Structure 1
Amino acid sequence: MTQSEIHLVKYSWSVVERIDPVVAGGIFYKRLFESAPYLKPMFSESIPVQSKKLMAMIGYVISRLDKLDTILEDIKGLARRHAKYGVQEEHYEIVGGALLWTLEQALANLFTVEVKQAWATCYNLLASAMLEATAETSERA
């Protein structure tokens, strides 16, 4: 990611973070389950609890975007946990779409083409790292 993309993601996230995490996460999960209702059984916790976890994890990652190497092990661990829940490669695209849609709703006119592209780049980078970690785990098994 470029410094400009990192700045756009961090700034736009600072706006989203002002929204109650249960509300913002609820918007995300509503969209996710509308897009792919078959994913709902993968979530054992309530949506409010899951929403808080989601928003906290995104915040954690975004706060360290300019030092991704410091959280790479966390990202790999997250990927391994997701694989245990049954997350498949094709689910990453669905989640990415729900995330971008949620950001568009939350940011409204601040969700410019540049912001959307920065978030897409960010998500794709993280999803690729997670998929790579999952593949490494599968190869060792």
Structure 2
Amino acid sequence: MILIDYKDRRPIYEQIAERFQELILKGVLEPDSQLLSVRNLAMELSINPNTIQRAYAELERGGYIYSVKGRGNFIAANDRLVQCKREEILEEVKELVRKAKDMGVSKEHLLDKVVECYEEGNKDD
């Protein structure tokens, strides 16, 4: 579920938080389901519990999880998060389209490339 890339320059807690975000946004982790305890996940990944605690704190700050005192951490309802992420992606697309126009890429060529990339992505699913 969570793989750590020790060659990645990013801190381990960021890698863990990012992977959980992906799993939450894709619906793999259901809303209100409980996450492993900090201690259990730390043992499973063979890393310091403080690293897991920091990742969970980042996830909570971002609204991906919530904590219940004495019970643990749970996945937050993600409809709003998914919508925000989609809007963020569409803003990135707008920026790329602007850059492509500035560089003289034709609308047709850009659309062909988008369709090609989209279809390549569907092969992985």
- The higher relative CO (CA closer than 8 Å, separation ≥ 6) is in 1
Larger helix fraction of residues: 1
For the criterion TM > 0.5, the same-fold answer is no
Larger strand fraction of residues: 2
Which structure would you say has the larger Rg?
2
TM-score calculated relative to the size of structure 1: 0.30
